[in-house]
Amino acid sequence: MSLLNPRDLIDDDEAFLPAIESAWAKIVGFDAVFPNSDLTGHSRRVARSAMAIARQVGFSQRDVFELGAACLMHDLGKLDVGTSILNKPGILTDIERAEMRRHAHYGFLALRGIPDLPAVFTLVARFHHESFDGKGYEGLQGDAIPAAARIVQIADVHDALCSRRVYKPGEPEGKIICAMIRPSRSGLGRAQFDPNFLRLFAKLRLADPDFAATAPERAEIEAFVATEPGLDQVYAQRDVATHELPDVADAAPSLRP
């Protein structure tokens, strides 16, 4: 599988391409100094998963590519978080956790000043940590969360939990998908995710020949997918490119404890 870069997804004549390439170079450069951060690899994997969901949903090719490029930028704000926090092998303090949560807002601020940049870039950067149940960073709930951000949230959580980090080992994918689709009153569970997008993603993972799961895990995921008819339904995309951002000050948003 070839590496994914902004120029693979953005037309050469787009005025915003140089700014995005410059931001991407900073992410790649950060990983060169701190390889355990894996920002580059994580962003690429999230992009591929999100693009796969978007294709199933029925996004146009242009919207799929713009979403993929936005995914490459979704953690740009982490470059403004202290490296001692990003690369800390232990549990974050409350203050450190609050600073880490601000990365979504930092990324939004860095991107919104780029002329002619499609809205999906700022939407994804700012809202990819919103939860369908309203328990995310800014408390948006359900369809109030832009569709692009709902898709990226699924891809982001999936890759973050499956991948090794300095503070944790990677988990088997079958185990993670099962945790994502199970009901839960607290912590990881299906209430966090758009139910239609989550089912589409589970269906895609089941069809991937590289998907690894135990027989019971696969059966559980298959049962979850089968509970929702019309998986290939085409969803309205009005909020992918035209969703208006709420008014926002330059200061970081209020953060949940």
Each of the 257 residues of the chain gets a pLDDT tens digit; together they read 568 999 999 999 999 999 999 999 999 999 999 888 899 999 999 999 999 999 999 999 999 999 999 999 999 999 999 899 988 888 999 999 999 999 999 999 999 999 999 999 999 999 999 999 999 999 999 999 999 999 999 999 999 999 987 667 789 999 999 999 998 866 788 999 999 999 999 999 999 999 999 999 999 999 999 986 544 444 434 344 434 444 433 333 333 22
Phi/psi at 235 (nearest 5 deg)? -95, 150
Three-class SS state of 131: coil
Residue 78 is among the residues annotated as catalytic for this protein: yes
Q: Which stretches within the chain are classed as H helix? A: 6-9, 17-33, 39-57, 61-72, 83-86, 94-101, 103-112, 119-127, 147-162, 173-181, 195-207, 215-226, 238-241
Cα 96 to Cα 78: distance, rounded to the nearest angstrom: 13
Cα 88 to Cα 7: distance, rounded to the nearest angstrom: 32
CA-based R_g, the chain, Å: 17
Half-sphere exposure of 118 (CA within 13 A, CB side): 24
pLDDT reported for residue 240: 43
Contact 116, 66 (CB under 8 A): no
Residue 32 burial by Cβ neighbours in a 10 Å radius (0-12, 13-18, 19+) = exposed
Q: Which residue in the list 78, 168, 175, 203 is annotated as catalytic?
A: 78
Segments making up each domain of the chain, as ranges = 17-230
pLDDT reported for residue 233: 46
Contact 67, 50 (CB under 8 A): yes
Whether the predicted model's global pTM rises above the 0.85 cut? yes
pLDDT reported for residue 164: 80
| Homologous superfamily (CATH) for 17-230 | Hypothetical protein af1432 (1.10.3210.10)
